[in-house]
Structure 1
């Protein structure tokens, strides 16, 4: 009988260590920071900022050029230290249009595309209803020009969110495009 008691205690101790280890591993995974792209608009007259985020590392900014009245698109990748502008596409070619860059390896019908590959720490983008600015990512189209007042400065930057941050902030595609919450 004496031999069985220590082995039961040993198995109980091993079981408790395994359960505690699994619990710690689960808590660590939940608390680990997730890379995201944050979209922030400063609140008017000292009001709180509007903030949303998305987790997809690839996204596209799209807007109607204010003079040419043609669509422009810029494709980005989230990186640890900023954003990489990979390619740009536009329907019309005019003054100020880049023309010395290498053509993009994938051309879109009706557009001219260039490979850019420029590293940026963040984007400061002014949007309005006239330019119809939008952010496209992961099969979502976020009509940012309908979410913020005209001529709002939108800051788009890579961040890392913990689980608490993710509960406090909204995914951009879950927001109403008309700006209501």
Structure 2
């Protein structure tokens, strides 16, 4: 009788260990398996990961002192600059647009661009209030990094543990 109970108990323990091990393995794979992300990296800083979706890059133009912004879509491993918005024409303003420029209700000139980039390199500054807007959430790069930090924005594969504040959850 004792042998049967001991065998049944041993079998139950083995099943419990196998089930527990399987659950832990699945959870580890879920959290550690790389997923596509919009990755913001700067030397000496932990990467920041955002959803691999459309975003806007905003800044204040250093000469005009007016806001400019660009709209990017994630296309595979690339960033597609679809539109750019600015208030006045001057140095560095796009000259070619797929469609005639339009004036928005907010007074911006809207250019349709449609140019693909593998990555963006941006210098962050509080003076120009460099930020990324995604899903109505502002990611204030000028508060996340020291002035004049060069950040790289690209699409990459990162663990789900990489989050929008940098580092692990």
TM-score (norm 2): 0.74
Query: How big is the shift at 1:95?
Result: 2.4
Secondary structure in 1 matching 2:72: strand
Provide structure 1 residue ranges, at least 5 long, that are not aligned to the other structure: 1-15, 44-48, 176-181
Q: Does 1:27 align with 2:26?
A: yes
Alignment of 1:1-181 (within 5 A): 27=26, 30=30, 32-43=33-44, 49-101=45-97, 102-103=99-100, 107-161=104-158, 165-167=159-161, 169-172=162-165
Secondary structure of the residue aligned to 1:125 is: strand
Higher relative contact order (CA 8 A, sep 6+): 2
Structure 1 segments of 4+ aligned residues over 4 angstroms from their partners = none
Contact 2:52 2:155 in 1 (8 A): no
Range 141-150 or range 94-103, more displaced:
94-103
The 3 A distance-change label for structure 1 pair 84 and 54 is same
The 1-side partners of 2:135 and 2:54 are apart by: 8
Deviation at residue 109 of structure 1 after TM alignment:
2.3
Secondary structure at the aligned position of 2:36 is classed as: strand
96-105 or 143-152, which deviates more = 96-105
TM-score between the two structures when normalised by the length of structure 1: 0.70
- C-alpha distance in structure 2 between counterparts of 1:108 and 1:51, whole Å: 36
Aligned residues between the structures? 145
The whole-number CA distance in structure 2 between the counterparts of 1:106 and 1:90 is 10
- Quote how far apart the aligned CAs of 1:104 are: 5.9
User: How big is the shift at 1:96?
Assistant: 2.5
Q: Contact conserved, 2:77 with 2:156, CA < 8 A, in 1?
A: no
**Kindly tell me: are residues 27 and 154 of structure 1, through their superposed partners in 2, closer, same or farther at Cα, counting changes over 3 Å?**
same
What's the RMSD between the two structures over aligned residues?
2.8
**Which deviates further from its counterpart, 98-107 or 63-72?**
98-107
Q: Assess if the C-alpha contact under 8 Å between 1:105 and 1:115 holds in 2.
A: no
> 1:70: Cα distance to partner?
0.6
